[in-house]
Chain A
Amino acid sequence: MNILTSSLKEIRDAVRNRSVSARAVTEAYFGQIEKWNGKLNAYITLNERAVDQAAEIDRRLAKNEDPGALAGVPIAIKDMLCTKGLRTTAGSRILENFIPPFSATVVERLERAGSINPGKTNQDEFAMGSSSETSAFGIGRNPWNLDYVPGGSSGGSAAAVAAGMASASIGTDTGGSIRQPASFCGVVGIKPTYGRVSRYGIVAFASSLDQAGPMTRTVEDAALVLEAISGHDKLDGTTASNPVPKWSEQIRHDLKGIKVGLPKEYFSDTLQDEIRDSVDRAIASVKSAGAEIVEISLPLTEMAVPIYYLIATSEASSNLARYDGVRYGHRADFSRHAAEDLAEFYSRTRGEGFGPEVKRRIILGTYALSSGYYDAYYKKACQVRRLLRDQFQQAFQQCQLIMSPVTASPAFKIGARISDPLQMYLNDIYTTSANLVGIPGMSVPAGFTNDGLPIGVQLLADHFQEQHLFNAGAVIEKDLALKELPNVLQ
């Protein structure tokens, strides 16, 4: 068994039946991290207590205590999630020295399930970006080709899993930030239904869109991790009280009676051939498992990116108002030039602490919410959001699943898009709708580009219907799972 390439479930089972110790697993992963993190920059901060946590799992096993459903499995945590006593930066200079006094509910639930946190993964600053290039702690790189971006914003989480630096990871997804890097790095990523997973202790970007979810090597692993982190939390009033199914035990490889919708608006002539081919492979796969393909229509598709960015930046401009340099976070140095008023105290602190993409979005969001523009931008976007939701509701009358590309083009070279924000934003066309509408979405690997970079396909299901994603994802995985490993694992 190669610990660095095994599935989470295999590792968990090996730890539980004591054919390998949790400590040995953790040390193996730290070996790989030591070897490659300098190049990939997948982690911002490593957890020095990880080996002790693993030893504790081994002690519990020795005493025949139940070590939990994810016993001894190294699951990396995106730096958006607060980890008690372990620095949490959100990829921003403004939180460079922030040590949370509490953990996010997701982190607590993972710990309770016995998983080990190797460290905090790199990301775009405040999850604002699609390439992990806006991190204040250095750009992240794609383990399949170091000249390419790993995607974003959860680029470090995706790269860590692909490169054998974590068995699984947690990402956050506000407009595609789990699914897009999963696609670029050849791993499975799921954004759950809004309300499935608690947002407590997760640095807020856009509260009506944010969800955390697993990034894993297999579809079954994603189900196992999601089972551990889902469910109502009294500390997040938007979590749903719906029961959390045992998805991993109910995965069916038979899609008879399932209709898979292909939105005609998603397959325009401009779609790159390599992407189109990857979707075609996945279509053939689900058809051979008995699914029926139907054409559907989502006429408001072209509005998804504009309304997403208007809403996400509006919410962000409000959420990020808390970084004022008073209670925590960076504060500008006023010892030589005192601030003339309170506004200057805040402005200088924030001007120093935030990077360019975050500033861009705060300005855009503040503008969209400001007097005179609110009706034309924020309110209008929320009205179109309702119409978009209605269109998805109608679509799910005709099918149980929607299949699409994850992005219009595969992973791009570092530096290729960073100076053109509009181009960067428009690449989110297929992923933003799921957040706006609140439905679950998954990216599952479906082959490679001619240049050897992975491509994923996206599956979407109706609210709380994650089981459909796991079933179809498992079918596609059976046929199309990547047979090769990135060089960093060879």
Chain B
Amino acid sequence: MISEKEVTRVAHLARLSLTEDEAKALALQLSSVLKNFDQVSKVDTQGVEPLVTPTEIEQFWRNDAAEVWESVESAMQNAPEAVGNLFKVPPVVG
């Protein structure tokens, strides 16, 4: 079970604003999802190392050399607001 209050707390951790209706619906839906997913607790995993990536990852080395990449403009063109080569954000308190 996950309560509406818990959903709101997690939403804050995720920096995600939710309306009251959204939080209510999510609490219901995720409670039923988690009820199903809780079956993982049945599996005996004592001493099992978590697997975080599915294949052996090789280590590759490359020279630590600078490469020229495009123009600064192309990197800035998607900024919601920019001043010259600086990203602009509205003033916030706190």
Q: Which of A102, A325, A338, A376 contacts B41 (CB under 8 A)?
A: A376
A340 at the interface (CB under 8 A from B): yes
Which A residues are in CB contact (< 8 Å) with B58? Answer: 240-241
What separation, in Å, do the CA atoms of A309 and B38 have in the docked complex?
A: 12
Query: Given A194, A342, A364, which contacts B30 in the complex, CB threshold below 8 Å?
Result: A364
B12, A101: Cβ atoms closer than 8 Å: no
Q: Is there contact, CB below 8 Å, between B55 and A351?
A: no
Question: Which residues does chain B contribute within 8 Å of A321, judged by CB atoms?
Answer: 14-15
B interface size (C-beta, 8 A): 52
Kindly state the separation between the CA atoms of A364 and B29 in the bound complex, as whole angstroms.
10
**Chain A min CB distance to B3 (Å):** 12
Q: Which of B7, B16, B41, B75 has the most CB of A within 10 A?
A: B16
Contacts of B55 in A (CB 8 A): 193-195, 238, 240, 438, 463
Number of A-B residue pairs having CB atoms within 8 Å of each other in the complex = 181
Asked if B13 is at the interface of the complex by the 8 Å CB criterion, the answer is: yes
Cβ-defined contact, B93 with A340, below 8 A: yes
Q: How large is the interface on A (under 10, 10 to 19, 20 to 34, 35 or more residues)?
A: 35 or more
Distance (Å) between the CB of A349 and the closest chain B CB? 9
A365 and chain B: residue at smallest CB distance? B14
Please, what's the 1-or-0 string for A379-421, where 1 marks a CB less than 8 Å from any CB in chain B? 1111111110100000000000000000000000000000001
Instruction: Kindly identify, within residues 29 to 67 of chain B, every residue whose CB is under 8 Å from any CB belonging to chain A.
Output: 29-30, 32-33, 36-37, 39-41, 43, 45, 48-55, 57-58, 60, 62
The residues of A with any CB-CB pair to B shorter than 8 Å are: 97-99, 101-102, 193-195, 208-209, 232, 234, 237-238, 240-241, 300, 302-303, 306-307, 309-310, 317, 321, 324-331, 334, 338-348, 350-351, 354, 356, 359-360, 362-364, 366-367, 370, 376-377, 379-387, 389, 421-422, 425-426, 435-439, 463
10 further interface pairs, Cβ-Cβ under 8 Å (given A359-B26, A366-B11): A238-B55, A310-B37, A310-B40, A317-B14, A338-B90, A367-B30, A387-B48, A389-B54, A422-B36, A438-B53
B-side residues, CB < 8 A to A, are 2, 6-7, 10-18, 22, 26, 29-30, 32-33, 36-37, 39-41, 43, 45, 48-55, 57-58, 60, 62, 70, 74-75, 77-81, 87, 89-94
10 A–B contacts, CB within 8 A, in A order: A240-B55, A324-B15, A325-B80, A329-B78, A347-B17, A362-B14, A366-B13, A367-B10, A380-B41, A383-B50
